[in-house]
Chain A
Amino acid sequence: MALTRENIVEGLEEIVGQEQVITDEAVLRESSVDRFRRFEELHGVFTQPIPAAVVYVHTTEETAAVLKFANDNMINIVPRTGHTATEGGLETIAENSVVVDGSAMNKIIKIDTYNMQATCQCGTPLQVLEDQLREKGFTTGHSPQSKPLAQMGGLVATRSIGQFSTLYGGIEDMVVGLEAVFPNGKITKIKNVPRRAAGPDIRHVVIGNEGALCFITEVTVKIYKYMPENNILLGYTLDNMKTGFEILREVMVNGYKPSVARLYDPEDGAYHFSHFADGKCVIIFMAEGPEKISAATAEAIEAIVAKYDECQKVDTRYIQTWFDHLNWDASNVAEERAEIVETKNIGNTTEISANWDIINSIYETCVERIRNEIPDMTLVGGHSSHSYINGTNLYFVHYYNVVDCKPEEEITKYHRPIKKIIVEETIKAGGSMCHHHGVGKHRTDWIRDEYDTSYYILETLKKSFDPKGIMNRGTIFPA
């Protein structure tokens, strides 16, 4: 028989103590959603089942005991650290869920500058780790927009990526080893080695699991020398996205690794760069690293761009001021919340990836369809911000006025139809529906299409590691 809310809270209190089990109604309501449902939340509407408790775990052993208790009693667990998820991954869709919050596990365990790796607990804010590293002349190379707010466990769990990824890679390229707890209470530690060929790379069972398989308690990432004095920023305006994709491709295919390689369409460009874009696309690069490599990278990019007559170089200071304000902190979030409430205008994003030969057609088709099919749009555009040798990503940006509908209808009237267009067009063309935000709970309808025959491998992971299905129900895998 299922435990009552009271039984669940009592059981948790026995494990971790009363102080670490939060049952305050306001906290529970806020913990039933993430940024995907912020329009509802901002209007005081909570449509998801309210969790039974939020548990702040302080040790790996506590985490194991909490997960085992949940597993034994069929309680849905929603793992969380920084609470910055955007795709519904933190929504508590099952009755009497328990949110397990690792943000109190925030110690930096070791910064090893000889072996160039840093180990920290899951609740360590990336900003804190990065600040400490930079004081010593090092960097993680990881810089997602959420850097001031996001924490290491969540960043690994969602397979995040940062603005300097073209040089440093995504989080999956940075994680050396980690510790994770599985629902049966088993604590597993993957050791920190440069590489090994002892079977499949099991780090990838954990990286990107979105709390649907296990709870990440500790992470070790690579670190790099921090040499901002060698950074060279380059920026250009141009007429067409197609040309921009060609330039990005040429840079990548010829083996150059700028840390930043970003292409904005006119709409998204106007949002960020209205003071110089003048209705055009904008392409930005940053060469980084040792002085000679940085200079050679910048020189090569300039030579590639010079072949395209439509590109006009812009003063580096425009790009520098943009670069100085890349990330979102708590004040940006607070400002956004006030604007949404007052204007009923809300913006969301959907990120996909695709090979070079199809990326432009996906971009054009999606933007045209959203403009034509979705009402009350105020901005539809996008940018490419992470490039690879075989393709790039597209970060669609979509803003709309919420008109003639209740707060709880915003998702069905606008957000999901927009996502549906982008996801379906991308999968149809042969791309991937998720580039770096994760599947969450709102792209699970298409997860089988995303994986096709390889879904067998993914599904088997769930069946093996979470046979009772207590880990973050409805995330990655349809409920």
Chain B
Amino acid sequence: MYILTCFKVVPDLDKLSGSSWTIDDQLNIETAFVSKMINPYDESALEIALQLSDQITTSGTTAELSAITIGNSQADLYLKSLRALGYKKACRINCSIDLRFNPEYIAALIGAYIKQNNPCDLILMGRQSGEGDNAKTPFITAEIIGWPCIADVLKVDYISPKLISVTNLTDNGILRQTVKLPCLLAVGNAPNSHLRVPTLKTIKTVGNEPARVIEDKNLIKFVKPGQKINGAKLLGLELIDHTRQGIIIEGNSAEEKALLLYNNYLKGWLADNGL
């Protein structure tokens, strides 16, 4: 089974204090000075692919894992780690344009990459990334390549070379279904999906071979004429004030504090809400 996982390297926005937010003339938030990480949803997708690969190997068949990312050379360190973890092909599509609100362009590049002789039976990617929070790339990609797409995936299990079991979150609860490949999975808040860590020994076996890089312009030319490749135009950015007030309840015992909490805050709120 050929499994392709798409991931994105993003700034760790938790490390950007509110007071450090600066916006330049091109409406970019300055994140160059913040440490980077794999987008957490993508990290889950990468780990789920490895777990699936483990299951396939245990069943006696073979899985070939590939990973692609779109961006600058900051992703190369992560590509090396992925190769050490068992991703046979790990490739970066070099791109310098602003992708924050352009899932159409990202999906077009992924679609073109697959068409360029990169066969796969299953594609995994995170449902969205913190930079643009568009949550559109999986759906647009599925549309471009004409595959079914399942959203908010939590778990994937191997059944046979052409069948997998997919557990995902729906509006009505958690659904487990048997899915025929090919298929694209948008991974959500998946439990037990922190990406495993390669050992120094396996990293050494990868060596210092540079990451495989493809220029976006060499891929975009394969996009079907008429296909939309431009996303939303960014007109402005505004910091949303998320500050909340807090009060520390003083009391001599837990019982006294609980009573104060109930009488002064909960009682009225419960009554207002008919509870």
Contacts and interface: CB of A to CB of B under 8 A. Distances in A.
B35 A378 contact: no
A343 B199 contact: no
A399 interface: yes
A317 B22 CA distance: 12
A275 interface: yes
A338 B200 contact: no
Interface in B102-149: none
Most chain A beta carbons < 10 A, residue from B30, B192, B194, B198: B194
Contacts of A272: 35
B255 to A, nearest CB: 11
A378 B32 CA distance: 27
B197 A378 contact: yes
A399 to B, nearest CB: 7
Given A274-B77, A275-B74, A378 B33 contact: no
Interface in B199-217: 199-201
Contact of A343 (B32, B74, B196): B196
Nearest to B33: A317
Nearest to B78: A274
B244 to A, nearest CB: 16
Interface string B13-46: 0011100100000000010111110000000000
Nearest to A345: B197
A321 B20 CA distance: 8
B198 A342 contact: no
Nearest to A279: B77
Contacts of A325: 15
A321 B197 contact: no
A229 interface: no
A324 interface: yes
A342 B192 contact: yes
A324 B194 contact: no
B200 A273 contact: no
A377 B15 contact: no
Contacts of B16: 321
A371 interface: yes
B92 to A, nearest CB: 16
Most chain A beta carbons < 10 A, residue from B15, B16, B200: B200
A318 B11 CA distance: 13
B193 interface: yes
Contacts of B32: 275
Interface in B249-268: none
Contact of A275 (B35, B192, B197): B35
Question: What class of interface size applies to chain B in its complex with A?
Answer: 20 to 34
Contact of B197 (A273, A315, A318, A399): A399
B194 A343 contact: yes
Contacts of B34: 275, 321
A409 interface: no
Contacts of A399: 197
Interface of B: prevailing SS: loop
A318 B20 CA distance: 12
Contact of B199 (A273, A275, A321, A401): A401
Interface string B145-185: 00000000000000000000000000000000000000000
Contacts of A322: 35
B200 A318 contact: no
Contacts of A377: 199-201
B15 A343 contact: no
A321 B194 CA distance: 25
Nearest to A276: B33
A379 interface: yes
Nearest to A324: B17
Contacts of A379: 200
Contacts of A339: 194
A320 B33 contact: yes
A109 B3 CA distance: 63
A344 B192 CA distance: 11
A400 B200 CA distance: 9
A376 interface: yes
B149 to A, nearest CB: 26
B10 to A, nearest CB: 11
A272 B15 CA distance: 12
Nearest to B37: A274
Contacts of B200: 371, 377-380
A315 B30 CA distance: 13
Contacts of B194: 338-339, 342-343
A401 B85 CA distance: 13
Interface string A367-381: 000010000111110
Interface in A349-406: 371, 376-380, 399-401
B95 interface: no
Nearest to A347: B197
Contacts of B192: 342
Contact of A321 (B33, B74, B77, B198): B33
13 contacts: A274-B36, A275-B32, A275-B74, A321-B15, A321-B16, A321-B33, A338-B194, A342-B192, A343-B194, A343-B196, A377-B200, A379-B200, A401-B199
Interface of B: 15-17, 20, 30, 32-36, 74, 77, 192-201
Closest 3 CB pairs of A and B: A317-B33, A342-B194, A345-B197
Interface of A: 270, 272-275, 315, 317-318, 320-322, 324-325, 338-339, 342-345, 371, 376-380, 399-401
Given A274-B35, A320-B33, A345-B197, 11 more contacts: A275-B34, A275-B35, A318-B33, A321-B33, A322-B35, A324-B15, A324-B20, A342-B192, A342-B193, A343-B195, A379-B200
